[in-house]
Structure 1
Amino acid sequence: MSILLSPLTLRGTTFRNRIWLAPMCQYSAADDGLPTDWHLAHLGARAVGGFGLVLTEATAVVPEGRISPQDVGIWNDDQVVAWRRITDFIRARGALSGVQLAHAGRKASTFRPFGEGHGSVPVEDGGWTAVGPTGEPFAGYAVPQELPEEEILAVPGQFAAAARRALAAGFDLVEVHAAHGYLLHQFLSPLSNTRTDRWGGDLAGRAQLLLDTVDAVRAVLPDDQPLLVRVSATDWTEGGLTGEDTAQIAVWLREHGVDLVDVSTGGNVHASIPVGPGYQVPFARQVRDTGIASGAVGMITTPHQAEKVLTEGEADVVLIGRPALYDPSWPLRAARELGDDTPVLTHRPGSPDAAVVPGQVTGWVPQYGRGSWD
């Protein structure tokens, strides 16, 4: 058995393999942050395709926490009902579902990248005033409102309330989004957090909001349900967050009940990033070396590359993004290319005990098409 196709258990939750779908914004929500048939098709197809965990896109904990007006949320009960249909479908296909809880901070209220406009959406056009640790904007965006302390104190409760709704919606786990220049990352980075009160200053002060948020979310989750945090391990800019900073943050996260750190990079300031195959994997290794499980993401495109990340001890799982858009059945492809006959799919409609292995593909499973790997 390949490590990639082997199960992983965190707390009392077992994932059928270590191939996880990375969160990817779809900018396709209905009014008021409701997920739609698009999300059912997008996420459901990857569950059918064999992913062990299917993670949602950044899902706002409050309306003003959305990246764009077309982002999904989980701040009201109508959204819980809409998400439940999707999580039920994912579970019936043998995968687990996770929700990435997020607040965009100063990068909120922006146009989606579909040609409607650039930068921040004006309030008169359906946008809203974004917030951040200070009034310093992300380059090219509107000036945010600096969060007063009473509103900072409310943030952990907003994430906790969203986590409760996630449980009601049937999600198997929660990931707290502290990466890509969104609110919690904005507080972590000295490039965006120049506060001089207890929410700023040294790394411990800048990490306080993240740790308070993790504590609040962990308190509402069952003991057997894992908690993940996504981080940007470096800002790729002098004076910003470094891999060493993130290693220390990982230690604190483990002490506060986090089970796996999902390691990405960048997004808080414009930077020159040396993008290439596996360019973020060394940071996942640096986090894992602190004693907490880690996930590697970013330009991991082939099954053999993903297997190597795991066999060399650089991460415990791999998260697949754009390759999963090209090929919703990427895990089936991985099993075939690695010569692993471990059952990848553990359920099919009308036959809950059925298992499908590569080479025994039946009509309901996406057929191998004419691709570069076929």
Structure 2
Amino acid sequence: MSLLLSPSNIGNCQLKNKIVMPPMCMYKSDDSAKVKPFHSLHYTSKALGNVGLIIVEATAIEARGRISNNDLGIWEDSQLSGHKSLVEQVHDFGSKIAIQLAHAGRKSLVKQTNPVAPSSIPFDINSEFKVPEALNLEEINLIKQQFLDSAKRAKEAGYDILELHAAHGYLLCEFLSPLTNKREDIYGGSLENRCRLTLEIAKLLKEQIDLPLIVRISASEWKTNGWDIEDSIYLSKELEKLGVDSIHVSAGGNQKEPDLMPELLPLYQCEYAKKIKENINIPVIAVGLITTAKQGESLLENKSCDFVAYGRELLRNPNLVFKFAKEFNETQLIESSYLRAYL
């Protein structure tokens, strides 16, 4: 059997293959931040298509933590029923489902609220992005509790895995970077201090929520003197010590005008995943313009990662796994009602 289509585990959660749908914002909710019919169809179609792990898009832990007014949320109990229904529908087709718990920080464009950040540095001063308010220690403690409370709701909703969003320039990523974190307290300055909040939240979730935990990071912010791969290796090692079950490796997003951004070619972020995997013993998820079965299989064969995330390609083709099963001559993995299309 191909490596890509063979089962594997994240923590104690067994996935039927190594194909991951990464979180991708859909902007299809409204100010209620509740799951809508679009989300049910969007995610369940990937489960029908045999994706091993489906990670629901960035889901806010408080109202001002949304990226936009059309994002999902899980900060209050009234939002739970939609998540429960979504999880049940995905489980009906045998896939596992995770939720990405997120706070947008200074990149929030929610109309009714002011964004918050480690320091009062806007993402882009000449645009619709507002100048964020710097969080005080009491507010940081509240955000830690909000992550925990949202994780408890996710557990109640039936999600199989949690993902903590510390990538792409959102709040936790902002704390990690020396360019966006200019604090002079225990959450700023040294690398250890800048990693503190992400590590504290991960520790809380591992200690109090009995679910596997993935942490998604930007391996580099592609900016001179900014967060880089060596910092990411340090953070990944510390997360592993806390019992985190997997690292999901992306890049960028924290700078409006990165000066070290690589050319956007297929597999352009996968070298980051490989470097991190070489330094830790927990599974690594690779992402970044991966589109073919051959690419995914090669990444696994070369030990660049343990799971392969197909984002845009799953938007184009919800039945991508069936296509791969045909290519690998493993047609027994194709949903029987669809099999005639692949003979």
Q: Same fold (TM over 0.5)?
A: yes
Deviations 1:79-109 (A, max 9, x none): 1111111100100100001000000000012
Q: Say which SS state the counterpart of residue 248 (structure 2) adopts.
A: strand
1:30 CA drift (Å): 3.2
Q: Which amino acid aligns with 1:170?
A: G
> d(CA) in 2 for partners of 1:362 and 1:37?
26
Q: Say which SS state the counterpart of residue 151 (structure 1) adopts.
A: helix
Q: Is the 8 A contact 1:15 1:96 kept in 2?
A: yes
Q: 1:257 maps to which residue?
A: 243
Q: 1:179 maps to which residue?
A: 167
Q: 2:89 maps to which residue?
A: 89
Deviations 1:9-44 (A, max 9, x none): 233210000001110101011331101000000000
Q: 1:166 maps to which residue?
A: 154
Give the number of the structure whose residues are more often helix, by fraction. Answer: 2
Aligned positions of 1:153-302 closer than 5 A: 153-222=141-210, 225-270=211-256, 271-272=258-259, 273-274=261-262, 275-291=264-280, 292-302=282-292
Aligned positions of 1:359-370 closer than 5 A: 362-363=336-337, 365=338, 368=341
Q: 1:133 maps to which residue?
A: 118
1:366 CA drift (Å): 8.3
State the identity %: 37
Q: 1:348 maps to which residue?
A: none
Q: Say which SS state the counterpart of residue 78 (structure 1) adopts.
A: helix
1:129 CA drift (Å): 0.3
1:157 CA drift (Å): 1.1
Q: Say which SS state the counterpart of residue 56 (structure 2) adopts.
A: strand
Q: 2:295 maps to which residue?
A: 305
Q: 1:331 maps to which residue?
A: 321
Q: Is the 8 A contact 2:30 2:69 kept in 1?
A: no
Q: Say which SS state the counterpart of residue 211 (structure 1) adopts.
A: helix
After superposition, the Cα gap between the structure-2 partners of 1:368 and 1:247, relative to the gap in structure 1 and judged at 3 Å, is farther
After superposition, the Cα gap between the structure-2 partners of 1:367 and 1:38, relative to the gap in structure 1 and judged at 3 Å, is farther
Q: Is the 8 A contact 2:67 2:104 kept in 1?
A: yes
TM-score, structure 2 as length reference: 0.95
Q: Say which SS state the counterpart of residue 286 (structure 2) adopts.
A: strand
Deviations 1:315-363 (A, max 9, x none): 000111110010001111111112234x43xxxxxxxxxxxx4xxx543
1:173 CA drift (Å): 0.7
Deviations 1:34-82 (A, max 9, x none): 0100000000000000100111000001111000011000011121111
Q: Which amino acid aligns with 1:210?
A: T
> d(CA) in 2 for partners of 1:44 and 1:133?
37
Q: Which runs of 5+ in 1 are unaligned?
A: 111-125, 345-356
Deviations 1:200-256 (A, max 9, x none): 11110000000011011112221xx31100000001111111111100100000011
Q: Which amino acid aligns with 1:48?
A: L
Q: Say which SS state the counterpart of residue 207 (structure 1) adopts.
A: helix
> d(CA) in 2 for partners of 1:76 and 1:333?
40
After superposition, the Cα gap between the structure-2 partners of 1:14 and 1:238, relative to the gap in structure 1 and judged at 3 Å, is same
> d(CA) in 1 for partners of 2:208 and 2:273?
27
Match of 1:315 among 281, 289, 305: 305
Range 172-181 or range 211-220, more displaced: 211-220
Q: Say which SS state the counterpart of residue 301 (structure 1) adopts.
A: coil
> d(CA) in 1 for partners of 2:339 and 2:57?
23
Range 27-36 or range 313-322, more displaced: 27-36
Q: 1:68 maps to which residue?
A: 68
> d(CA) in 2 for partners of 1:367 and 1:37?
29
Q: Say which SS state the counterpart of residue 247 (structure 2) adopts.
A: strand
Deviations 1:246-277 (A, max 9, x none): 00100000011111000000000021522111
Q: Say which SS state the counterpart of residue 305 (structure 1) adopts.
A: helix
Q: Say which SS state the counterpart of residue 33 (structure 1) adopts.
A: coil
Q: Say which SS state the counterpart of residue 72 (structure 2) adopts.
A: coil
Q: Say which SS state the counterpart of residue 298 (structure 1) adopts.
A: coil
- Number of positions where the alignment pairs a residue of Structure 1 with one of Structure 2: 336
Q: Which amino acid aligns with 2:45?
A: A
After superposition, the Cα gap between the structure-2 partners of 1:311 and 1:142, relative to the gap in structure 1 and judged at 3 Å, is same
* 1:42 maps to 2:42: yes
After superposition, the Cα gap between the structure-2 partners of 1:32 and 1:61, relative to the gap in structure 1 and judged at 3 Å, is same
Match of 2:135 among 137, 143, 147: 147
Q: Which amino acid aligns with 1:326?
A: R
> d(CA) in 1 for partners of 2:245 and 2:85?
27
